[in-house]
Amino acid sequence: MKHTNQIKGFNGSKLELAERIGDLYYDSLSELLALLSEKIKEDSEADLGRGRRNLANHLQECASSLDIASKEIESAWGICSPYVDEWLKNNGKTRE
């Protein structure tokens, strides 16, 4: 794993990236957060294996928080999904 300051293929600012991620439909955002949680958890396990217990603990807490965030935004999607679907249908739009 190699950490970087930028995401290859994305030339915008971190603020723009956050805004674009925040504009995802909540079910897609939930999936992204769950995947990020898993990645951070893997990093935690790798660092624990290298004897970096303190770092691993913080990464595990981060992964847990991301998992909670994923579940909360999935619940939010459950609330607004019928309204989004109705709006899309009434306006001839699709989820793209």
Of the candidates 36, 58, 34, the residue with the CA atom closest to the CA atom of residue 47: 58
Q: Which residue has the tokens 């989820």?
A: 95
The DSSP letter of residue 53 is H
Residue 1 pLDDT: 61
**Exposure string for 40-70, b = 16+ CB within 10 A, e = fewer:** bbebbeebeeeeeeeebeebbebbeebbebb
Each domain of the chain, given as residue ranges in start order, spans 14-90
Contact (CB, 8 A) for 41 and 63: yes
Q: What is the pLDDT of residues 36-63, one digit of tens each?
A: 999 999 999 999 999 999 999 999 999 9
Compute the distance between CA of residue 32 and CA of residue 57 in angstroms, rounded to an integer.
22
